Amino acid sequence: MPRKGENIYKRKDGRWEGRFIRQKISGIAKYSYVYGKSYSEVKKKLELKKTQCYQRTNVQSFIGQDILFKDICILWLEDIKSTLKESSYIRYSNIISTYIILLLGDIAINDIDYALLSSYVSELLSSGGTKGEGLSSKTVADILSVIKAILKYASRCKYEVDLSAMNVYVKQKNTPVKTLEVADYKRLIEYLLAEPNLLNQGILICAFTGIRIGELCALTWEDFSFDKKIIHVHKTMQRLQIPNGDRKTTIQITAPKSQCSVRDIPIPEFLIPYLNKLENKNAYILSGNSFNYVEPRTMQNHFKRILKQCNIENVNFHVLRHSFATRCIELGFDIKSLSEILGHANVNITLNRYVHPSMELKKKNMSKLSNLFTVK
């Protein structure tokens, strides 16, 4: 017997079958079917198919009308929801509600052209943000990327879209990424070794593996293999906003940002004696138990206190990752190996984003030219 109103049955061959109304023609229902190995699998498939049919019906009802951009934004979000991680979906939702709908939402989609979008971008750069001081070129480029994705979606749905808007770009500044100077780097490491505790141990691990702060906070002792001398990185921790929730944010531990970020990192030999290994493999390495965790914001604040005690310039925790990559290059690391340790999709990301040779290294390389003209 199917559950009331669900139209889900178990077939004689052992499979489960669900049916839903695809459309109605002259009052007559036309059905489609989905199949699965379990009731729950079929129910999920049904919900997805019903959502897709609802979206198509909405899109078709708007075609030929002067639909507002905010209506397309909603349809686009629903269309991509099932393909995204929750964090990505929330990020896109926030960009749309904070920046896009406010200024472009009540404009008909066929009125959004090159001139209008260029003016919008200029306004964001000059006076955007809560303080009205302008947004960074990186933030505006992210917003523009979402707008273009929505316009492409609208075009696929047969709306009239002025494709000249796709030619609007934001020139991003090539800002050098900060790294710790070698002297500061050494002073920080000496302090961490002299003041052993779980949080300092975490900073030490980041300084010699280049893992991200979210990956560090999600590490448990189960992720360490001391026989093989590797750390298995396969989770990340982040604080996400909750749309329309009782609380504004919540902590979630999920898979990393991409499949390339799931990786095994060799533990440097000298570091092993300094790791305070616990018997409880489910315990978080930063808290020492499996019930409480240390979130990225707390770790960032602790890091800033350490910097102050070491008389080091106040920098973001992510600088440890930049510094690790830079020191590795200076020591002659193989770029491909380093790229995989950092969890990058290709070596170009490693070279362009994280590797910043010091002036000393540049001078050393330039001095090699002298050898060409040395009289022997």
Question: Rounded to whole angstroms, how far apart are CA atoms 283 and 356?
Answer: 36
Residue with tokens 């906070």: 217
pTM of the model: 0.71
Could you please state the CATH topology (level 3) that the domain comprising 182-364 is classified under.
hpI Integrase; Chain A (1.10.443)
Domains 69-167 and 182-364 share a fold: no
Domain range list for the chain: 8-62, 69-167, 182-364
The answer to whether 247 and 266 have CB atoms below 8 angstroms apart is no
How confident is the model over 281-326, as pLDDT tens digits? 899 999 988 889 999 999 999 999 999 999 999 999 999 998 998 8
Could you list the pLDDT tens digit for every one of the 376 residues in the chain?
455 446 788 888 888 888 877 655 555 666 777 788 888 888 877 777 666 555 555 544 444 456 889 999 999 998 888 888 888 888 898 899 889 988 898 899 888 999 999 999 999 998 888 778 888 888 999 999 999 999 999 999 888 888 899 999 998 776 777 888 889 999 999 999 998 899 999 999 999 999 999 999 999 999 999 889 999 999 999 888 766 555 678 888 888 877 888 999 999 988 888 887 777 889 999 998 888 999 999 999 999 999 999 999 999 999 999 899 888 888 888 888 989 999 888 888 887 776 666 666 677 777 777 766 655 5
CATH, range 69-167? 1.10.150
Choose among 86, 315, 78, 295: nearest CA to 202: 295
Both tokens of residue 230?
């590797």
In one-letter notation, the amino acid at residue 173 is K
Integer-rounded Cα radius of gyration of the chain? 27
